[in-house]
Structure formats: structure tokens, C-alpha cells
Amino acid sequence: MIACYFHERICAMSLYAIGDLHLHFQSELKAKNQQNDRLWKNHEEKFRKNCDRLLTPEDTLVLVGDHTWGKNLYNIAEDLEYIKRLPGRKILTRGNHDMFWEVKKTKQLNERFQPDLTFLQDSYESYRDYALVGTKGFTFEGPFYLDRRGRVIGWDEEAEEHAKKLVERELERLRISFEAARQDGYTKFIMFLHYPPTNILEKRSGFTDMAEEYGAEQVIYAHCHGETRFHDSIMGEYRGRTYSLVSGDYLRWNPMKVLD
Ligand SMILES: [Fe+2]
Ligand SMILES: [Fe+2]
């Protein structure tokens, strides 16, 4: 009887992902369109209802960064409480707006919030026989210079040089995550980034290369929100992996099912 129940529980669970909740229960709203845009209006309520409808307590939800506009633990307490109350196990990765989360303080965050919330950085989490690996990522976002027809004819090369250093640092962090899982015997990977794996000019990058090197089956990313940005990077099947954008407004606040 116990074995059967256990088996049913295992079979019932699913892995979901979404990003860019940009909560602001106690902090200053930095993007005014969140109040007026039809996709963002009452998005906290829409997302909570969708989670209650789709997720069970056995499910896992990965939130891929830009959780909050708040800058410190004091003014994100209600944002984290909102996330904590969503169904299932919650795993968070860093986004560019998550000022409350310095990489070197990840251990303290986990000590404070586990088991309700898991902060994933330089490490991995397991899901069935998969390792969930990830980091914030980075990609050069311009400024790009356009001609009168809107074609890119150049970009800020100094900013591009700086971006290369940030990309290298994030690739090192991603490798630490993959290697931690590999050393524990994992051979199946789902890779999570906050930034898209490529910018608007790239066909591939260090992140797509690393996904291929380790054989990640899926690459999940966010950061591209607002309808003009939904197609900034790779979507769908590409060189043997599946790439998915999971920014909240793109998903209309329905978490995307990654795995059964
Ligand atoms: Fe964002
Ligand atoms: Fe972002």
C-alpha cells in the first residue's frame, strides 16, 4: 500500500519554470508599465491563481530570476512570502534585478529560507534522474546602432568588451554547477539561465556551447519581457536541444511545464 502510494506520488510530479515576476509588495515599482500594461495588470494575482490550478505540492517550480524590485531582505520579505505560499517546491536562480542576492551570500540565504525556498547558485538540485543546473548568465545587449531601415550597422565596442568579461564569469559559474552534478553521477541536465543564451546578433554563444558540451536536454531562460523582446534569442529546437523563453508576461503568467 505504501509502495503504491509512493509510486503514484512519483508519477504525479512535474517540473515547471517561469521568470521575471518582478514583485514589489514593499518596494518601489521600477517599471511603470507593470501597472498599466494589459499583460502585467494584477499579474501577482493571475500567477497565483494559475499556480493553484496547475501545480500540486509534489511539483517543483523553478523561478529563473528577477523575482523582485526590492533591494534588500527587509523590503523583499512579502515578495518571498508570496513565493513561499505558491504550491510545490520552489527553486530560485538569480536575475539582474535581484539586488538582495549576492553570490557569496547564497549559503546564508539557504540557511535562512530552506526548506521553503532553495537558492540555486554554484550548485545543482535534483529532479528525478535529472540535475537542474544554472546561473544568471549574461549577453551583450547593446547599445546597437541602426540605419534608417532599422538594420544593425554597429554597436558600442567598449560595452561589448565589458560584456565579454561578465559572460566569462557566468560561464565559470555555470560550469561549477554542471561539474557539481556530474561529480555526483548525473548525466541528464536541464539548464536554467536568466539572460537569453544569445543576443540579437548571435547564432550561438558560450552558453549554447556549454549546453551542448554537457548534453543539456533543455535550456530555459527569461529576461526578455515586453512583446518586442520575445524573439530576441533562440526558441524551440536548436542543435539537439530545446530552448524555451519563460518570462512571465510571455507565458501569460502560466508556469511552463518542463518535465513530467
Ligand atoms: Fe526582468
Ligand atoms: Fe532581467
Distance 66 CA to ligand 1 centre (A): 5
Quick one: which ligand is closest to 196's CA? 2
Check whether 78 has a pLDDT greater than 70: yes
Q: What is the DSSP letter of 105?
A: G
Residue 10 clears pLDDT 70, i.e. is over it = no
Residue 116 reports pLDDT greater than 70: yes
Give the predicted TM-score (pTM) of the model.
Answer: 0.93
Judged by DSSP in three states, 212 sits in helix
Residue 223 CA to ligand 1 center (angstroms) comes to: 5
End-to-end CA distance of the chain: 23
Nearest to 79 by CA among 92, 96, 60, 61: 92
pLDDT digits (tens, 9 = 90+) for 162-199: 999 999 999 999 999 999 999 999 999 999 999 999 99
Name the closest ligand to CA 20: 1
Percent of the chain exceeding pLDDT 70 equals 96
Alpha carbons 101 and 122: distance in angstroms, whole number = 13
Which grid coordinates are listed for 201? 546578433
